[in-house]
Amino acid sequence: MSPPTIVIAGAGQAGSHTAASLRELGFDGRVVLVGDEPHLPYQRPPLSKGHLTGSTSRDNLWLHPSKFYEQHEIQLHLAESVRRIDRTNARVQLGNGAFLDYDHLVLALGARNRTLQVPGAELDGVVGLRNLSEADDIRDRLGRARHVVVVGGGFIGLEVAATAAKLGIEAVVIEVADQLMGRVLSAQMAGVVLDAHRSRGLRVELCTSVAGLTGAAGKVGAVTTTDGREFPADMVLVGIGAVPNTGLADDAGLKVDNGIVVDEYLATDDEQISAVGDCTSCPNRFAGGRPVRLESVHNATAQPRTLAARLVGRPEPYNSVPWFWSDQADLKLQIAGLSAQSSHAVLRGDVEGGRFSAFCFHDGALHSVESLNRPGDHMAARKLLALGDCLTPEQAGDPNFDLRAHTAAHAAAGSIRT
């Protein structure tokens, strides 16, 4: 009998980590990794930061060197994609027409940027940032730009805007909501970050949106907002969120609902197909067990470990503490947990000095911790959230309370996963 074959559709961080985790946990069958980009699998966080300034070299982007895949017998199909899933015959068809049989299929399809639906969105100079070629293009444009407008006050938009401002480019952020990073941050932390960006020369316009883009000779030249203002722009970065790539799963009849629906073991409703990363909607105990779709490096690395363990016969539910980070100029923002259900934030640290954390509670229970330039709090928060209900708002707000010792004492009772 031939060894089993696992085909992984998508060679981003989730797909690459799935392949590596399978080998690390002893899977000795065939592993095939299919990716639609011509590059080796690479890290995405530096694309909006160090890669734009040149402080991160191209060679440091790769998740693994090419010899890693050879040594671990991971077959790479680069510049290729899965076009169709044939569930009846347990095979996939590639874009070149070839078929790959599988014993198990992993969908690590990622997400794609939302597009701006306004007049002029097709002009040259209107860009998004999702992959390496787009990052290369943005870096080149930043070298020539005098005016940059960023549409969207989320992580990617603020990281690029902060980089542009640091390079001496006049940068403007346009955000439709009344605060920055509204989906992930408390109002208190968002306000501090807003003030910090403005003090560093970044212009941020809240509560307005883009009405249209204008230009000449097919190139963007200005952005008009719904309140009638106009901002000059050599480049417009659109950072208004992403949508999961679910078309392949939907066409195959798999359940889709804001992502490919999986259970706590990352299994779809087909026992031969699983999914990981940005494209998945997965039950999350930090959201009360509700299905959640998370876009984060942590999710793209932790989910593959859980899946690989199941595929080698050591199943464990996915219950890792969600965490995120964003480097915006000299602001290091780290978040542990999910803040959507939080209603009360307790601040701890030096708020005026920009080194503090917001401990977010709901009904007295800790739901998330947002840390600005305070990494020790972040690491403690991940452990505290994994332990469960063991911190009160009064303890969090007491500057003399030893958070690290408290965390260590509770962790000593047993192992935790962060």
> Given this model, what pLDDT does residue 78 score?
97
Burial class (CB within 10 angstroms; exposed 0-12, middle 13-18, buried 19+) of 412: exposed
> Given this model, what pLDDT does residue 250 score?
98
CB 322 within 8 A of CB 294: yes
Burial class (CB within 10 angstroms; exposed 0-12, middle 13-18, buried 19+) of 405: exposed
Judged by DSSP in three states, 306 sits in: helix
Which parts of the chain have pLDDT scores under 70?
1, 340-342, 413-418
CB 279 within 8 A of CB 244: yes
Judged by DSSP in three states, 98 sits in: coil
Burial class (CB within 10 angstroms; exposed 0-12, middle 13-18, buried 19+) of 89: exposed
Distance in angstroms (rounded) separating the CA atoms of residues 326 and 404: 23
* Cβ neighbours of residue 162 closer than 8 Å, sequence gap 6 or more: 171, 197, 200, 202, 328, 329, 331
Phi, psi dihedrals of residue 165, rounded to the nearest 5°:
-65, -40
Judged by DSSP in three states, 205 sits in: strand
Percent of the chain that is helix, strand, coil (3-state, to 5): 30, 30, 40
CB 12 within 8 A of CB 300: yes
* Cβ neighbours of residue 132 closer than 8 Å, sequence gap 6 or more: 37, 39, 42, 47, 61
> DSSP class of residue 279?
G
> DSSP class of residue 90?
T
> Given this model, what pLDDT does residue 414 score?
56
* Cβ neighbours of residue 189 closer than 8 Å, sequence gap 6 or more: 333, 345, 358, 370, 372
Structure tokens belonging to residue 197: 């960006």
Burial class (CB within 10 angstroms; exposed 0-12, middle 13-18, buried 19+) of 28: exposed
Q: Amino acid identity, residue 418?
A: T
| Domains identified in the chain and CATH numbers | 5-112+243-311 (3.50.50.60), 115-240 (3.50.50.60), 330-411 (3.30.390.30)
Q: Amino acid identity, residue 101?
A: D
- Looking at the whole model, is its pTM more than 0.85? yes
> How do residues 192-224 score in pLDDT, each as one tens digit?
999 999 998 999 999 999 999 999 999 999 999
Residues in the chain, overall count: 418
Instruction: Measure Cα distances from 339 to 65, 81, 184, 208, 302 in Å.
Output: 37, 36, 6, 24, 20
Distance in angstroms (rounded) separating the CA atoms of residues 372 and 184: 14
Instruction: Measure Cα distances from 22 to 36, 106, 283, 409 in Å.
Output: 21, 12, 23, 34
Distance in angstroms (rounded) separating the CA atoms of residues 86 and 334: 42
Number of H helices, E strands in the chain: 11, 26
